[in-house]
Amino acid sequence: MAVTPGERLAAAEEFMPGDGTYEDNGDVYASVVGEPQYDSEEYSVRVNSPIKQPRLNVVNSIVYGRVMQTYDNYAIVQLYPYSTKRFRLTPPSSFAMLRVSNIRRGYVKSVRDELGVGDWVRAKISDIKAKFYVNLSLEGPKLGVIKAYCPRCRTPLVRRGRDLYCPHCKLHVRRKIAEDYGNPQLPR
Ligand SMILES: [Zn+2]
């Protein structure tokens, strides 16, 4: 299962931090989006580290990021590198803009009806106006939230029908989710 940056992978005394990870306070965490690989002979863990690291600067490229701010009309998404079997892909900028009109087909009144701060999303680059001005889209079944935590208690939200649900608070949370929410598959 794909992990996201900041996700705990192991105790540092059991697995040494390798590529695509970092150590903090005795634990090892992912620093990129990818599949973790545990090496039980070398006692190390890494999140895939291919040599090729092309930059994604083409419209329609898939990117992964975390929602940092939400407003009615747009959200700011922080983009992270991610690993596939062959590449580690670097986004064109650290931050990107997601407009309310690009969340899904049809009318969306407010970004906050479909996304929350801290959500992890798979998005498509819809437009690059300048190096530091990237627009994203979440339209289509493959795009949207891939991982989210309860806004009240931070428990990972589980899918329930088309929405998300906190098993701890019994809270229903509406999100524009990707079809593989909860077990996100990375592109190969
Ligand atoms: Zn909760």
Report d(CA 172, CA 186) in Å as an integer.
27
Residues of the chain above pLDDT 70, percent: 96
DSSP code for 187: P
Average model confidence (pLDDT) across the chain: 91
Give me ligand 1 centre to Cα 149, in Å.
Answer: 8
Say how far apart CA 30 and CA 8 lie, in whole Å: 7
Q: Please check whether residues 19 and 74 belong to one and the same domain.
A: no
Q: Tell me the average pLDDT across 85-107.
A: 90
User: Separation of 128 CA from ligand 1 center, angstroms?
Assistant: 37
Distance 158 CA to ligand 1 centre (A): 11
Please compute, for residue 114, the number of CA atoms within 13 A of its CA located in the half-sphere on the CB side: 28
Flag whether 169 is in a domain. Answer: no
157 in a structural domain: no
The answer to whether residue 2 is domain-embedded is no
How far apart are the C-alpha atoms of 9 and 2, rounded to whole Å? 11
Number of structural domains (the chain) is: 2
Instruction: Average the pLDDT over 44-57 and give the result.
Output: 78
Q: Which alpha helices (DSSP H) does the chain contain, by range?
A: none
Among the listed residues 96, 148, 93, 149, the one whose alpha carbon sits nearest the alpha carbon of residue 123: 96
In a domain, 168, yes or no: no
The verdict on residue 142 lying in a domain is yes
Asked if residue 37 is part of any domain, the answer here is yes
Once rounded to an integer, what is the mean pLDDT over residues 82-111? 90
CA of 171 to the centre of ligand 1 (A): 6
Maximum alpha-carbon separation in the chain: 53
Q: How confident is the model at residue 93 (pLDDT cuts 50, 70, 90)?
A: confident
pLDDT per residue as tens digits for the range 106-162: 899 999 999 999 999 999 999 988 766 899 999 999 999 999 999 999 999 999 988
- Which of the two residues, 86 and 69, has the higher pLDDT score? 69
Considering Cα of 141, then 84, then 80, then 31, what sign does the dihedral take? positive
pLDDT tens-place string over residues 16-31: 999 899 999 999 999 9
CATH code at position 34: 2.40.50.100
